[in-house]
Amino acid sequence: MAHHKSALKRIRQSEKRNTYNRLNKKQLKEAVKAVHSSSVYNDAAEKLKNASKLLDKAASRKIMKKNTVANRKSSLTRLVNSMKVKQN
């Protein structure tokens, strides 16, 4: 265990950030899974909107790298657009 005051503070801060980041990543995963699980285009489009919003927030808060976020949004959008083509 750390003995210095600053080291103890750093441990507290890391635990707080770890909890915050884990919660946000969990929400992201759930949103992405919701898009994947939906089979109707309109439903998937709404869920995509929510997921992309959460992904953008994660990128701005540096929870995930912005290129990773861009790749995920792109793949989700392709998935939803393919649903639209199949329904027509």
| CATH code: domain of residue 62 | 1.20.58.110
Cα torsion through 45, 56, 24, 79, rounded to 10: 30
pTM over cut 0.95: no
* pLDDT tens digits in sequence order for the chain, 88 residues long: 778 999 999 999 999 999 999 999 999 999 999 999 998 999 999 999 999 999 999 999 999 999 999 999 999 999 999 988 877 6
In sequence order, what DSSP letters do the residues of 14-44 get, joined into one string? HHHHHHHHHHHHHHHHHHHHHHHH--SHHHH
- Contact, 36 vs 79, CB < 8 A? yes
Residue 61's identity, in one-letter code, is R
**Distance linking the first and last C-alpha atoms of the chain:** 62
Q: Which domain holds residue 62?
A: 5-87
DSSP state of 64: S
